[in-house]
Structure 1
Amino acid sequence: MNDTSGRKVVASTYVSLDGVIANPHLWMLSYMTEEGQRYALEQLFDSDALLLGRETYEGFAQAWPNMPRDEAGFADRMNSLPKYVVSTTLQRADWHNSAILAGDVVKEVAELKRQPGKDILMYGFGRLARTLLKNDLIDELRFWVHPVLVGQGRVDNGDLLFRDGGRGNLRLAGQTVLDSGVVILRYQPAGR
């Protein structure tokens, strides 16, 4: 997945066919097969840092430190990677190896991208992802499209993928069809 053109921000998120991204644990778990786990593991190990919005960070910080160690090393990797959480309200970031980015997110993420290293992986697609996309700081979007219609989701509270008229031209950089029916669509900004 990783090439030699420099450090990239990769945004990876689960989405239903009807565009819902909220509470994926309620609708995506039955689609997570061994093949999907391998892809997720490869994606994680192609990265050497996590970039997270506050809500995603808080959920992960509560869950991941308590995850049992697994043979593949996914939990150990999640817990050991440097984590950058973008927030103007979070007072502390206690999850191991976490730092709060509370300043100008565009400048701070641009600086992270200039540093040597592997990909910077971002889970979820909220305000942070939309800000980075608008400022040309996301190099690849990975949408894990699940063959399920959740049937509910509100635009006003962040349940849907593009809830505020997100705009931008993207080009399909690749796709992977998993045996579960999940399709991972990889998009890059069209200008690249």
Structure 2
Amino acid sequence: MGSIVVFENVSLDGVTQDPTGEEGFSRYDWRAALAPADREAWDKLILDDALGAQVLLLGRRSYEFFAARYPSRTGRLADRMNSLPKYVASTTLEDPGWNNSTVLDGDIVDEVARLKHTVNGEIRVYASSRLVHTLIGHDLVDELRLTVFPLVMGAGNRLFDRTGTPKPLRLVGTRTVGDSLAHLTYQAG
């Protein structure tokens, strides 16, 4: 049985929206303020995380963001992202163009529950805050991996905006990434 692992970049005040500054919410690229050694450590963290995934599960907007970039990129991370099976939660996407992609267009809770039973290993969710809200709300997330960037956004969509009821988590790992980032790992329940 698979486990759903959410990996998110968050600000100190919990914002996940537009960390690259490309969506128009903020023109600030969170990575821009990182020292080169911190950026290198963060890049390694992302690669190591992707290498541990068996499947990607993405919301439509995040899927479109990644699909517009990774097919033309080279390197180990691009090779991994391009080769992984990808599942997209969407009722509007009809023809995913990125290789190894499947649209989950039914009831997302049922579709993801079925996916967990068919995958052996980690199902990774990147940058899909709306999908994450749904998964957390239905107790489908097994683990959260949060990379905390040293900035306060003050506004923006947050990872835990709509949890509805309290969701107990257990801290199972902490580490510093470079000199400025914190990486926190929580398991559900």
The bucket for the TM-score relative to the shorter chain is 0.7 to 0.9
TM-score normalised over the length of structure 1: 0.85
TM-score after normalising by structure 2: 0.86
Unaligned runs of 5+ in 2: 22-28
The residue that corresponds to 2:168 in the other structure is: 169
The runs of 4+ residues in structure 1 deviating greater than 3 Å are none
**Unpaired runs of at least 5, structure 1:** 1-5, 154-158
Q: Matches of residues 85-100 of structure 1 in structure 2 within 5 Å? A: 85-100=88-103
Separation of aligned partners in 2, 1:66 and 1:122: 21
Report how far residue 125 of structure 1 moved: 4.3
- Per-residue deviation, 1:177: 1.0
Matching of residue 13 in structure 1 with residue 19 in structure 2: no
Residues 145 and 183, structure 1, Cα contact 8 Å, conserved in 2: yes
C-alpha displacement of 1:18 = 1.9
Partners of 1:132 and 1:148 in 2: CA distance: 26
**C-alpha displacement at 1:184, in angstroms?**
1.1
Partner of 1:101: 104
CA RMSD of aligned residues (A): 1.7
| Equivalent residue number for residue 22 of structure 1 | 17
Q: Secondary structure at the match of 2:136?
A: helix
Counterparts in 2 of 1:58 and 1:78: CA distance versus 1, 3 Å = same
1:112 aligns to what? 115
| Letter matched to residue 129 of structure 2 | G
| 28, 34, 37: which one aligns with 2:40 | 34
Q: Are 2:151 and 1:151 equivalent residues in the alignment?
A: no
Asked if structure 1 preserves the Cα contact closer than 8 Å seen for 2:133 and 2:159, the reply is no
Q: Check conservation: 2:113, 2:140, Cα contact below 8 A.
A: yes
